[in-house]
Amino acid sequence: MNEFVRGHAYGVVDATMRALVPKGVRVAPLVPQRLAGSAHLMSALVDLRSASEPELETLIAGDDTAAPEMRTPLVAVMLKTAIGMDEVARHWNAMQLASPYGAGLVWLRMHDPRVLHQLFRILPPAQCRDLFGRVEAIAYRIGGEWVEREIRSTAPLPGLNRANEAPAHRDWARIGRIGIVNRALQRAGIRDAAQIDMCSEAAEEALDRAGSRYALREAEDLTEFAFRALVCRASFDDEPCIAAAIRRHASSCHDSYLSDHFALIDPEVWRALRSAK
């Protein structure tokens, strides 16, 4: 494991883990200037090359004073690159903030392995190269395992069109739904990389149907709809009483959640829909 880790120059730690980084490890806060007021919520870059073997063990395996089942890795994302720490931090800070459609700013939670995994699923290779700059590969921990994604190949892609790498060409509609998809997957108990890949598209199809068929827009309602599509048969809303409950919610001026209406449905209906999956 340490050999695998030593192949990466830097790690990224969540804000909740920053205070646990060993004192001997070089740390650079990843705080874009426009988010300076929220610095306590931002992740940090750690120089894995500056860590001793015991410090590296702490970064990857967590606090050894905790019980094994309670140990949480401090580093959940690792970067393979030959460039300096300052350049990595500058580029990471720039790519954390995006302006979809040229208006407003959104924060891309790049330090979250679940977000990274979805970005690699959604973005084509050329756009990944543009997003991550001179980082050669990224490893991240998801479902208890490390997944590594190569970003920069030594050979250029044939017919590469640089214009298609630009942020304006990213599929912002799908990127904007990553949080909803991930929450639905998590509620459904879907955590390993292969299952996430298989089920994310099903969740997205459910979200498309929730919007086009019922005009659902609220994140809580969309999460509920996608979750039900994952744990029941995909067409769960073809059941008349389910469709009626959704339409009642849609016409109720949203003074309640979709889950409140679903809670009133006979549990036997849900059991039948689950067994039909």
Q: What is the pLDDT of residues 124-143, one digit of tens each?
A: 999 999 899 899 999 999 98
Residue 173 located in a structural domain: no
pLDDT value of residue 3:
80
pTM for this predicted structure: 0.88
**Which stretches in the chain have pLDDT values below 50?**
67, 154-155, 157, 159-163, 165
Domain identity same for 14 and 108: yes
Distance CA 9, CA 26 (A): 12
Domain identity same for 69 and 185: no
Q: Kindly report, residue by residue over 194-212, the tens digit of the pLDDT.
A: 999 999 999 999 999 999 9
pLDDT value of residue 61:
84
Domain that holds residue 249: 178-275
Q: Of 167, 198, 218, which residue constitutes the final position of a domain?
A: 167
Residue 172 located in a structural domain: no
pLDDT value of residue 198:
92
Q: What is the crossing angle of helices 113-122 and 193-214, to 10°? A: 70
Q: Kindly report, residue by residue over 165-175, the tens digit of the pLDDT.
A: 455 567 888 99
Helix ranges (H only) for the chain are 2-6, 53-61, 85-96, 113-122, 125-132, 172-175, 178-187, 193-214, 219-231, 240-250, 258-262, 267-275
Domain identity same for 37 and 127: yes
Domain identity same for 103 and 14: yes
Residue 238 located in a structural domain: yes
Q: Of 147, 167, 187, which residue constitutes the final position of a domain?
A: 167
Residue 106 located in a structural domain: yes
User: How many domains are contained in the chain?
Assistant: 2
Domain identity same for 136 and 157: yes
Residue 134 located in a structural domain: yes
Give the pair of three-digit tokens for residue 31: 């705080």
